[in-house]
Amino acid sequence: MLIRHTGDYTWEDVPVLAYKEENLTCFKSVTRQVLINAVPQLPCQLRYFEVAPGGYSTLEKHEHVHFVVIFHGEGRALIDGKVHTVKEKDVIFIPSLTWHQFRAGEDSPLGFLCLVAEDRDRPVLPTSEDLTVLRENSSIADFIRS
Ligand code: MN
């Protein structure tokens, strides 16, 4: 099976979806495409997310892990308790139960491929106590959106 790129980071017969189905307001300007669905021999989904300039993904954590490849543009990400600049071709592992958030640059989209297990727990959002702890680090305080 070939899933052909049809230009501008869309793929043949792959719908461009809202980032999350829930009515969450803790993200901005993110789309989601499921490029390959899980099969029994590899029970994972390959997705492509794109955060528009100035947008951000949800600040969240969960038991499941992500393998991420930055695929388009650049931005910043909270990974491993630090804020990193990220750009095309960088590869990221998000371990279990660690806070993560992606932000596009002001003038650049941030698109990334994300491999995730089909059978996974729901993300947890930060409580006000969690935010207080996260904000003890000033670079994280400046970065996070929630
Ligand atoms: Mn996540």
Average confidence (pLDDT) over 56-80: 97
Share of the chain above pLDDT 70, in %: 97
Q: Answer whether 0.85 is exceeded by the pTM.
A: yes
| Closest residue by Cα to residue 75 from 44, 8, 29 | 29
Residue bearing tokens 């461009």: 16
**Between 61 and 18, where is the model more confident?**
61
Q: Give the DSSP letter string of 35-77.
A: EE--BTTB-EEEEEEEEEEEEE---BB-SS-EEEEEEEEEEEE
Q: What is the pLDDT of residues 102-142, one digit of tens each?
A: 999 999 999 999 999 999 999 999 999 999 999 999 999 99
What is the token pair recorded at 81?
């308790």
Average confidence (pLDDT) over 50-68: 96
CATH superfamily of the domain spanning 17-143? Jelly Rolls (2.60.120.10)
**pLDDT tier at 18 (50, 70, 90 boundaries)?**
confident
CA pair distance 137, 39, nearest whole angstrom: 41
Name the residue ranges covered by the structural domains of the chain. 17-143
Catalytic site residue from 83, 86, 110, 114: 114
Angle at 33 between CA 30 and CA 38, to 5 degrees: 135
Whether 114 sits among the annotated catalytic residues: the reply is yes
CA 6 to ligand 1 center in whole angstroms: 27
CA 8 to ligand 1 center in whole angstroms: 24
CA 123 to ligand 1 center in whole angstroms: 6
CA pair distance 67, 94, nearest whole angstrom: 7
Q: Residue 22 pLDDT more than 70?
A: no
Mean pLDDT lowest among 26-30, 87-91, 117-121, 141-145: 26-30
* Average pLDDT score, the chain: 95
Pairing, β 101-104 against β 28-36:
unpaired
CA 61 to ligand 1 center in whole angstroms: 6
First CA to last CA distance, the chain:
39
